[in-house]
A and B are shown apart, each in its own frame.
Chain A
Amino acid sequence: MKIKSYKDLEKIRKEGLLSLYPSKLKIVVGRASCGLAAGAGETYEAIESEITNRKLDVILTKTGCLGFCQMEPLVEILEPDRPKLIYKNMTHDKVNKLIDSFIEGKIAEDLILLRIDKEKIFRENGVIENDLKKFWTNYKSDISDEVKNEINKVPLYKEIPFFKKQKKIALRNCGFINPEDIKEYIAKGGYYALYKALNEMFPDEVIEEVKNSKLRGRGGAGFPTGLKWEFTKKAKSEPKYIVCNADEGDPGAFMDRGLIEGDPHSLLEGMLIAGYAIGAKEGYIYCRAEYPLAIHRLKIAIRQAKELGLIGKNIFRTDFSFDIRIKQGAGAFVCGEETALLASIEGRRGEPRQRPPFPATSGLWEKPTNINNVKSYSYVPQIILNGAEWFSSMGTDRSKGTMVFALTGKVKYTGLVEVPIGMTIGELVNDVGGGVLTGKKFKAIQIGGPLGGCLPIEKLDTPIDYESITEAGAIMGSGGVIVVDEDTCMVEFAKFFLQFASDEGCGQCVPCRIGGERMLEILTRITEGKGKLEDLQKLEKLARVMNQGSLCALGQLTPNPVISTLRYFRDEYTTHIVDKKCPAGECEALIKLFINEEKCTGCGVCVKSCPQDAITGEKKKPHKIDQGICIKCGICKDVCKFDAIYVV
């Protein structure tokens, strides 16, 4: 059927509610990329066969990433008469145990992660937080006190430190709905914003609303989204295009992937609203081919939306028609730059061009084009439904709403998080992320991806907003956060990012193409103990010219990791140059590995793992490393259980 009216939408919403909260047992497996990488596929199959074997009357389904990637695979069990229970690290070998305990009416205590007893659902007049049990028609309140107690012992979703300080808007549905079922999205209020925009608002009013919300582009640069829409709308050329930048190429970033895999319709709805506001009839989602699952789910979502008439001709019986296509990127990092992305969609080599003209005036096929990031579009339906004021009430003076981060590195809890803007970096790392992995000292965070910057411990009080982070020497970027501990050499760290960025340059402009290479050569010299003090001035000079003179943001920001580490960790550079030493013990050319004879038990584990056969020694007696053969790979140090190998 095609949804043509509010009534039709309501009908689907009710069907979706039944699917979200069926009146029988439902098991949901987290099947985003993070879950699948942790084995959710096998878990799913194991549950499936248990259901068959034990002849259970169960609905088995899937959901996206709840954010707590580290705890994947996550499995949720939803019984009509209980809160939602979510189990962690549910590899397939634990399935039997889970089902056993479930049949016994118990909770597998060592596997349980959290419970959810309230979920946001949509009522005609807006979003309401609701008691889960209210959904069930045949709700039975006769749970035994024993079970009640057991349930009450399980920490609530909102009590878990990882979730406590988060506020989910863009990620609102991730982990809560089946991303392959449009009805569940509609049940959560999906496409109501589109209905409202098309039926109750003029395009200019939509733009006004987005402008008033003060939403800024979540791709990293933070340009006001509403203003960009207005520019594109006002550009005097037809047709106009809507493009979604889902070319997430930063190492350690997976925000867009998580969002699309968990809630593709929020992106589609955002694009549809943008198309209506701007006067476009066609949209492209540029998604990297390395995200097959995201693309798969997008395809399903587009198909389902078309089936329901939410994408296509005369949506909701209005004059508005819109089509969305997917264009897969071929893996060039620079295609995340908007003009390179457009070139790639057009079938040309993905390369940036000098701006202006900006895509808003001359974009795809030289026509006015609005390009936003996945997250930016995903906010839009919520802004339309809840109003600009609601959105702009969150955040700081100039940065509003929430920010999605991919939290990785040497931090206790890793995953996909969404926090209110204005939260400090310290809160993000220590409260949400649970602090640095035990036993190590916090050194820095790299924020904003490979083109971002490094901030040291002194900057933990910096609030997360566009201006403060830029001022501190990093960029908000698209949201990758990597936590670094004391074992990381900052020169090597800067070199890693520089290598990545300069390898990925399009090769057009001189400062980026040759400047990046020359900076890398200097950094390599420094990490090999061959640097000179004047090299630091050369680095700074090259960085200045790259920043000022490169053609696109990639070249302009490539020196950032070097500049920020030179700013906050200059002494580490000078130690490499003057003392020929690497304080973190990471630069192979500057270190030697030794065995502490007092700690070594002669267990021989290191002997077996050394790729060079550089370690010798009699059993149960202290071993020795032959410095002439050792390549300083550090494997021995990693495998030694007695901490007997040290770096000098």
Chain B
Amino acid sequence: MSEIKITIDGRKIKTEDGTTILEVAEKEGIYIPTLCYHPALPPQSACRICLVEVEGEKVLQPACSSKVRDKMVVHTDTKKVLEARRVSLDLIISNHPLDCMICDIAGNCELQDLAYEFGIKESEFKGRSIEYTIDDTNPFIIRDLNKCILCRRCLRACDEIQNRRVLGVTNRGFKTKIIADFDLPLQDSTCEFCGQCVAVCPVGALTPKISTGMGREWEFKKINTVCPYCGVGCRFDLNVKDEKIVKVTSNPENPVNGIALCVKGRFGFDFVNHPDRLKTPLIKKNGRFEKISWDEALNYIANKFLGIKEKEGSDAFAVLSSAKCTNEENYLLQKFTRAVLGTNNIDHCARLCHAPTVTGLVTAFGSGAMTNSIEDITTKAKAYLIIGSNTTEQHPVIGIKIRKAVREGAKLVVADPREIDITNMAMIHLKQIPGTDVALLNGLMNVIIKGDLWDKEFVEKRTEGFEKLKETVSKYEPKIVEEITGVPADDIIRAAKILANSKPASLIYSMGITQHISGHLNVLSCANLQMLLGNMGIPGGGVNPLRGQNNVQGACDLGALPNVYPGYQSVASEDNQKKFEEFWGVKLDKKPGLTVVEMMNEAEKGSIRAMYIMGENPMVSDPDVNHVRKCLESLEILVVQDIFLSETAELADIVLPAVSFAEKEGTYTNTERRVQLLGKAINPIGDSKPDWKIICELSTKMGYLMNYNSTKEIMDEIAKVTPIYGGISHERLDANGIQWPCPDKEHQGTAILHVGKFSRGLGRFTAVDHLPPEELPDEEFPFILTTGRVIYHWHTRTMTSRSSGLEKIYPESTVEINPEDAMKLNIKNGEKVGVISRRGEVEVKANVTKRTQPGVLFMTFHFAESSANILTISALDEVSKIPELKVCAVAIKKL
């Protein structure tokens, strides 16, 4: 960019080549009105409100898209300019209903503002308007084309931000209108209701249905905070009126997501004010819950716990922490478990999703987290291998960024047993048989090594163990791999070549890799591939596990795991034990604790007598749910702390009402290790309390004083004992947050891990062999069942089932079955069928679809009443102890 000189309204301005007149004017404080322009979108130049006069041009030029040139002379306020702007605005108004008095968007309407500014009460050019029927058949968005000014922001957002292209334009001239697909109601179109269009609509044409009549702009308090759903960590503004969340809005300044959100983030907030919210502590008497006071409840628990501790010892306790709660709360609960209860029996649902990520990546690299940042993998990668991640549904905002990258030329290889949304964009879809990932990855490496396509310099200088890997993968010839995985050898060869020839390439995985008894091995294989290709420690590369829950990263970071203190400091190390004993002032146990499934098993056996569960729902999320029920029922005391009476809470003896993210202060750490500050939007509902306060009070009642005044103080304590969080404090966290490792107050955080050197020194190749799943199909149970999630629901549905829109759009569970299999069994699309495993049986609607391959059934685990986890097996990966949720043998029958 070179410096140039231009003149605007007589002012001589130095600026840079390539900027627009509007950008220069804004910087200089010269006002140019706009309407179709939006800073997060490419210019459309449609409204003609920003027209200016450029000397030498025959006609007026739009400031939003016209680039400056050296010696350009611009006038923003000539008679011609003012007339053109006024007439254009007048014409828009001539075709717009003037019902501002009852319009939801009044006060936040850019057309209203301009009309006020230009003093246009009514149009000089009144004429006809086309009457459109309002599209409000879907549960999220009201689409009123009568108010549409055709600025096309919605279309550009759908195209450029969401990369979906649902919206388009039809007809010509005055009859032009915006349509979804081939002019369908949104409900019937391919729209996924991200609401990006709603966020950018300058008028009342696109509004959130749930917010209709709930208030207008000037009545709202806006609180910037972090989304409570997935691990992407999007920020948004909660719009609050009278202690009620009315609307979610987003703005381009949010660091991770900008203006983008997904359907859950934008429209799934109404659970917060749902009448089902727990408002007082409950105690179960004679099989029924009764309300009790906080004092009574905490006294009851404290007495019971102290009794058990004395009688049965510390190892009779098990605690489940929560990937939904803040870093501060997770820190406190593990402190409570270790320092007060005296055991390391603390775990949380990370065990069910990314335990192998921690074990595997620590083994290979020395650090168990996503290596790169969302920003660099979505803008700098030349190719992707997405393996076992339904990215666009489960991490939607990362998904849309990858869609954009692929549209802009990045090559995409997807390995997934199912056809998922992102496979539509893939150059190659490797459709492996569930549970054969190691073989597939070894096959890719076989081709890469044989074709001499690996990064020799990287392997030589930065890794160890290559020779062994080479030897092992040499057995995995594409033809052999084809037999194991069902993926054609040619596809394996093509995919390997694409990945090897496009550097940097980013590997992205999720639970398709981890939820196997070979989960740890799968993760090692991913690490092997990326080291082999030299894709580590560089922007656009990396091994990138996408973490599930909003704070699963933080819950792990802060030690809600049975084997490590905060910051992955091993409990088995005497140094660490000493350090924490000194800091917390108590004796600590050196023996690593039990993991989730182990706890349940021990409860059944009777060695675990008391369980404390904060914000988790194992009765839906854990494998073999019937077994889980039996285990929980055999406890002496079960305490559940939650915001709703979940399926697990129903089994509790005491239920403690906690608060939602909207009522909380503290921090979450997203999948890319970004620690972000929450904003408290409303006061706790009823008598509910923030989780951290409940822990403090219980701890204090049990004789260990916890008297923190705020979560800020807790974070200061965390920083002292957790090296990777060493430089983090609430004061330092602005809207951008900080990515750990951040060892001290001067450190700016770390966007990419392992740059120049791995955390463990050299990267370690581990040669691994294919390990078949625990339970394979047989005559009695001839199908493989694999499980997953859908975009419209979250985890065990405690929140999304209380969000009216999400529940309406996806009300019940289904089992996906390939048409070939359905035909053989005479199963029709939509009919109820029974799915049976050795562990249980569910009734569910059949969804006959080619998305799933013959021989494989797919179910989500969201729905308690027909949960896939009634069927799944609790076989564990030896190293990481993750259960094999992705593969078990089932039968399906017509009812």
A contact residues vs B (CB 8 Å cutoff) = 332, 334, 349, 351, 353-354, 356, 502-511, 513-518, 521, 538, 541-542, 544-545, 547-551, 556
A56 to B80, CA, bound (A): 73
Are B124 and A514 within 8 A (Cβ)?
A: no
Chain B residues, Cβ within 8 Å of A351: 169
CB-based nearest A residue for B178: A507
The verdict on B48 contacting chain A, using a C-beta distance below 8 Å, is yes
Shortest distance between the CB of B626 and any CB in chain A (Å) = 54
Are A545 and B88 within 8 A (Cβ)?
A: yes
The verdict on B62 contacting chain A, using a C-beta distance below 8 Å, is yes
A521 to B168, CA, bound (A): 28
CB-based nearest B residue for A356: B67
Chain A residues, Cβ within 8 Å of B84: 511, 545, 548-549
Shortest distance between the CB of B524 and any CB in chain A (Å) = 42
The verdict on B46 contacting chain A, using a C-beta distance below 8 Å, is yes
A517 to B127, CA, bound (A): 8
Question: A518 touches which one: B48, B62, B125 (CB < 8 A)?
Answer: B125
Q: Is the interface of B mostly helix, strand, loop or mixed?
A: loop
The verdict on B577 contacting chain A, using a C-beta distance below 8 Å, is no
Are A502 and B83 within 8 A (Cβ)?
A: no
Shortest distance between the CB of B488 and any CB in chain A (Å) = 30
User: What are the 6 A-B residue pairs with the smallest beta carbon separation, nearest first?
Assistant: A507-B176, A514-B91, A517-B174, A354-B45, A545-B87, A549-B84
Question: A503 touches which one: B66, B80, B169, B172 (CB < 8 A)?
Answer: B172
A517 to B175, CA, bound (A): 10
CB-based nearest A residue for B85: A549
The verdict on B51 contacting chain A, using a C-beta distance below 8 Å, is yes
Are A521 and B152 within 8 A (Cβ)?
A: no
**A502 and B174 contact, Cβ closer than 8 Å, known pairs A507-B169, A508-B152, A541-B83:** yes
Chain A residues, Cβ within 8 Å of B62: 354, 551
Question: B51 touches which one: A502, A513, A549 (CB < 8 A)?
Answer: A549
The verdict on B47 contacting chain A, using a C-beta distance below 8 Å, is yes
Interface contacts beyond A507-B171, A541-B83: sample of 11 additional A-B pairs, CB < 8 Å, sorted by A: A332-B172, A351-B169, A354-B45, A505-B172, A511-B84, A511-B88, A511-B91, A521-B127, A542-B87, A548-B51, A550-B59
A556 to B67, CA, bound (A): 21
Chain A residues, Cβ within 8 Å of B59: 547-550, 556
Contact string against A for B residues 69-91, beta-carbon threshold 8 Å, 1 for contact and 0 otherwise: 00000000000100110011001
Contact string against A for B residues 131-163, beta-carbon threshold 8 Å, 1 for contact and 0 otherwise: 000000000000000000010100000000000
The verdict on B736 contacting chain A, using a C-beta distance below 8 Å, is no
Shortest distance between the CB of B163 and any CB in chain A (Å) = 15
Q: Is the interface of A mostly helix, strand, loop or mixed?
A: helix
Question: A516 touches which one: B152, B168, B169, B174 (CB < 8 A)?
Answer: B174
Shortest distance between the CB of A544 and any CB in chain B (Å) = 7
B contact residues vs A (CB 8 Å cutoff) = 43-48, 51, 59-60, 62, 65-67, 80, 83-84, 87-88, 91-92, 94-95, 124-125, 127-128, 150, 152, 168-169, 171-176
**A349 and B173 contact, Cβ closer than 8 Å, known pairs A354-B45, A549-B59:** no
Chain A residues, Cβ within 8 Å of B43: 354
Chain B residues, Cβ within 8 Å of A513: 150, 173-174, 176
Are B125 and A551 within 8 A (Cβ)?
A: no
Are B45 and A551 within 8 A (Cβ)?
A: yes
Shortest distance between the CB of A40 and any CB in chain B (Å) = 34
Question: B83 touches which one: A354, A504, A545 (CB < 8 A)?
Answer: A545
Chain A residues, Cβ within 8 Å of B150: 507-508, 513
Chain A residues, Cβ within 8 Å of B91: 510-511, 514-515, 518
Are B87 and A541 within 8 A (Cβ)?
A: yes
Are B48 and A517 within 8 A (Cβ)?
A: no
Are A549 and B172 within 8 A (Cβ)?
A: no
Chain A residues, Cβ within 8 Å of B173: 502-505, 507, 513, 516-517
Chain B residues, Cβ within 8 Å of A349: 168-169
Shortest distance between the CB of A369 and any CB in chain B (Å) = 19
Are B46 and A509 within 8 A (Cβ)?
A: yes
A502 to B95, CA, bound (A): 16
Chain A residues, Cβ within 8 Å of B171: 507
A506 to B43, CA, bound (A): 17
Are A510 and B48 within 8 A (Cβ)?
A: yes
CB-based nearest A residue for B47: A510
Shortest distance between the CB of B181 and any CB in chain A (Å) = 14
Chain B residues, Cβ within 8 Å of A544: 83
A513 to B174, CA, bound (A): 5
**A508 and B125 contact, Cβ closer than 8 Å, known pairs A354-B65, A503-B173, A513-B173:** no
Shortest distance between the CB of A331 and any CB in chain B (Å) = 10
Are B51 and A514 within 8 A (Cβ)?
A: no
Chain A residues, Cβ within 8 Å of B48: 509-511, 549-551
Chain B residues, Cβ within 8 Å of A509: 45-48
Shortest distance between the CB of B95 and any CB in chain A (Å) = 5
Interface centre among B51, B128, B171, B173 (most CB of A within 10 A): B173
Chain A residues, Cβ within 8 Å of B176: 505-508, 513
Chain A residues, Cβ within 8 Å of B67: 356
Chain A residues, Cβ within 8 Å of B92: 510, 514
Shortest distance between the CB of A423 and any CB in chain B (Å) = 27
CB-based nearest B residue for A505: B173
Chain B residues, Cβ within 8 Å of A356: 66-67
Are B88 and A549 within 8 A (Cβ)?
A: yes
Shortest distance between the CB of A90 and any CB in chain B (Å) = 41
Interface centre among B45, B66, B80 (most CB of A within 10 A): B45
A541 to B169, CA, bound (A): 29
A556 to B48, CA, bound (A): 13
Shortest distance between the CB of A548 and any CB in chain B (Å) = 5
A202 to B46, CA, bound (A): 43
Shortest distance between the CB of A370 and any CB in chain B (Å) = 22
CB-based nearest B residue for A551: B45
Shortest distance between the CB of A647 and any CB in chain B (Å) = 30
Shortest distance between the CB of B57 and any CB in chain A (Å) = 10
Are B125 and A510 within 8 A (Cβ)?
A: no
A119 to B176, CA, bound (A): 53
Chain A residues, Cβ within 8 Å of B66: 354, 356
Are B125 and A548 within 8 A (Cβ)?
A: no
Question: B125 touches which one: A504, A506, A542 (CB < 8 A)?
Answer: A542
Are B60 and A549 within 8 A (Cβ)?
A: yes
Shortest distance between the CB of B158 and any CB in chain A (Å) = 14
A502 to B174, CA, bound (A): 8
Chain A residues, Cβ within 8 Å of B124: 538
CB-based nearest A residue for B35: A510
Give 29 pairs: A residue, B residue, CB < 8 Å, sorted on A: A349-B169, A351-B169, A353-B45, A502-B173, A503-B173, A505-B173, A507-B172, A507-B174, A508-B45, A509-B48, A513-B174, A514-B92, A514-B125, A514-B174, A515-B91, A517-B174, A518-B94, A538-B124, A542-B87, A544-B83, A545-B83, A547-B59, A548-B60, A548-B84, A549-B48, A549-B51, A550-B59, A551-B46, A551-B62
Chain A residues, Cβ within 8 Å of B83: 541, 544-545
Shortest distance between the CB of B252 and any CB in chain A (Å) = 22
Chain B residues, Cβ within 8 Å of A334: 172
Shortest distance between the CB of A337 and any CB in chain B (Å) = 13
Question: B87 touches which one: A515, A516, A551 (CB < 8 A)?
Answer: A515
**A538 and B125 contact, Cβ closer than 8 Å, known pairs A505-B173, A511-B48:** yes
Shortest distance between the CB of B486 and any CB in chain A (Å) = 35
A351 to B176, CA, bound (A): 12
Shortest distance between the CB of B141 and any CB in chain A (Å) = 22
Are B128 and A521 within 8 A (Cβ)?
A: yes
Chain A residues, Cβ within 8 Å of B46: 508-510, 551
CB-based nearest B residue for A349: B169
Interface centre among B47, B67, B84 (most CB of A within 10 A): B84
Chain A residues, Cβ within 8 Å of B128: 517, 521
Shortest distance between the CB of B4 and any CB in chain A (Å) = 15
Shortest distance between the CB of B195 and any CB in chain A (Å) = 24
Chain B residues, Cβ within 8 Å of A510: 46-48, 88, 91-92
Shortest distance between the CB of B403 and any CB in chain A (Å) = 18
Shortest distance between the CB of B802 and any CB in chain A (Å) = 41
Shortest distance between the CB of B475 and any CB in chain A (Å) = 45
